[in-house]
A = this chain, B = another copy of it.
């Protein structure tokens, strides 16, 4: 074997010489893969995934988003949002409500059950996120979130 790999992250000292370790898109992809895996794992017992948690969480803020709004914000196709809302509505976590000012559009609002589950899910995600970024100091974590937020909303 050309490369000796140890542990779940392999032999970092070998790979850190690779050109990819300076590649922002690669680093994002790899860290995101780990993040989704840890998120899905943490949310499993609640019957949610990273994706459905994001929708539920957004709906539970007081933004009253339409399905279109959710699609744009979460970088999803509108048809995917249909499926996600179907799921959450089937579990009585959210409800579709026609927008009085535009009857084509449907506003998504949370149920009390949805609010409750969201609170639990938020805690589960916080723990998973803490675990994921345990190699960073609290300040570094804040800094990382701030930089990503700038990229996300620029």
CB within 8 Å of B: which residues of A? 1-3, 5, 9-10, 12, 14-36, 38-39, 50, 54, 57-58, 60-61, 63-66, 68-69, 72-75, 99, 101-102, 105, 107, 122, 125, 128-129, 132-136, 140-141, 143-145, 147-154
Contact = CB atoms under 8 A, between A and B. Distances in A.
A148 B134 CA distance: 12
A148 to B, nearest CB: 4
**Copies of this subunit:** 2
Contacts of A99: 1-2
A68 to B, nearest CB: 7
A64 B26 contact: no
A28 B31 contact: yes
- Tell me the dominant secondary structure on chain A's binding face: helix
B18 A132 contact: no
Given A5-B72, A28-B35, 8 more contacts: A1-B68, A1-B99, A2-B66, A15-B63, A18-B63, A25-B38, A27-B148, A132-B151
Contacts of A22: 145
A150 to B, nearest CB: 5
